[in-house]
Amino acid sequence: MKKAYLLLADGWQAEGISVGAEGTVLGEVVFHTALTGYPEIFTDPSYWGQILVMTMPHIGNYGTAAEEWQHEKPMIRGLVVRHMSDFFSRAGRALGLLEYLRMHGIPAIAGIDTRALVRHVRQKGAQNALLTTEPLDDEKIARLQAFPSMAGAELASQVTTSKPYFVGEPGGMRIALLDFGVKKAIIDQLVQRGFYVGVFPAQTPYAELWAFEPSGYLLSNGPGDPAAMPYAIQTAREIIASGLPTLGICLGHQLLSLALGIPTYKLLYGHRGSNHPVKDLRTGRLFITSQNHGFAIDKAALLRRREVHLTHINLNDDTVEGFLHAELPVQGVQYHPEASPGPHDSHVIFDEFAENVRRYAAERISISP
């Protein structure tokens, strides 16, 4: 079996077995705590530029099938697992994970102590790493040391659609979706509620979005540092000023915050899992949520703003998980209400958004001359 090596920027390293494609990749090392749902996780564009560690020790036992993919190809840069299964239970309708990773050129390492690695990342923080199937040498170490930080990285333009496309029944009310790395499940949730969704590239000018004649806007999830996206922050300001119902998810939530003058910051190691408890402060209801983000909104700055209300908090660390504008139909949620992987507790966010869009559309019709 071919060896593989993992080296972190602070010098932590491990030797294991190659269970993916051959080669060398660099990216930010992060970890995910889900027990299931790896096909959805690996194809989430929010992971672009990252080497992913799975805390679940046994990965690959049910393969991967197209209906689970959130993008047409895997988005992770590299994968770290304790054990990769060479058997999977859905033969005939799924690909084996090892075959899938090799098909798409994704290096992966198995046979290392992922518990020790995760503890290290929790203590020292998410950081750049190098994963290779070739011996470590000075040239690779130099490449790792020179690799840019995720802080300040604009990555959405690397995963967005190259041109607009449209999903759903053309007769439905229209939602203009800015694609910063949108998951397929977000679009599915909108279509299931009867909307006709126009999916637009990340750098689409506001005038082009408006020309679609939408009844609402959605700013999607995606990778990278929101503060490094001035073009998107400006578009978010114009969307807010339109007065139409607007929902921001994950990166979209952070961009709306920045457009409102509320800063963001980089978390030590981020939130990535499908078991994060979130409390809705409006109702007292608790949700178990799916999350994938390395940046968050400044809670103290948000609380100083009278026109923006804190609506959701993370019960693990009291970080901001949602806000609502007091005067405008603008809402942001930090977690992933579409799930994929689950749980599905927070699908209600799409119900709220759909109701908001239809109510505002009805009001516009009733006051039109």
DSSP states along 301-347:
HHHT-TTEEEEEEETTT--EEEEEESSSSEEEESSBTT-SSS--GGG
Q: CB–CB of 5/14 below 8 Å?
A: yes
The maximal CA–CA distance of the chain, rounded, in angstroms, is 75
Q: Tell me, yes or no, if 250 is annotated catalytic.
A: yes
Beta pairing, strands 108-110 & 13-18: antiparallel
CB atoms within 10 A of CB 57: 11
- Residue 116 token pair: 């020790």
- Residue 216 token pair: 């609402």
- Residue 54 token pair: 């799975």
Sign of the CA dihedral 313, 314, 316, 318?
Answer: negative
Beta pairing, strands 320-325 & 330-333: antiparallel
Catalytic residue among 28, 68, 120, 250: 250
Q: Tell me, yes or no, if 169 is annotated catalytic.
A: no
Distance CA(110)–CA(17), nearest Å, equals 5
What residue has token string 């690996």? 42
The strand ranges marked E within 133-254 are 165-167, 174-179, 196-201, 216-219, 246-249
Q: Give phi and psi for 74, each to the nearest 5.
A: -65, 145
Helices (H), 155-229: 156-159, 184-192, 206-211
Distance CA(99)–CA(148), nearest Å, equals 30
What residue has token string 């607009």? 164
Distance CA(31)–CA(120), nearest Å, equals 11
Residue 79's SS3 state is strand
What residue has token string 């209300």? 309
Q: CB–CB of 54/31 below 8 Å?
A: yes
Q: Tell me, yes or no, if 71 is annotated catalytic.
A: no
Please list the active-site residues: 250, 336, 338
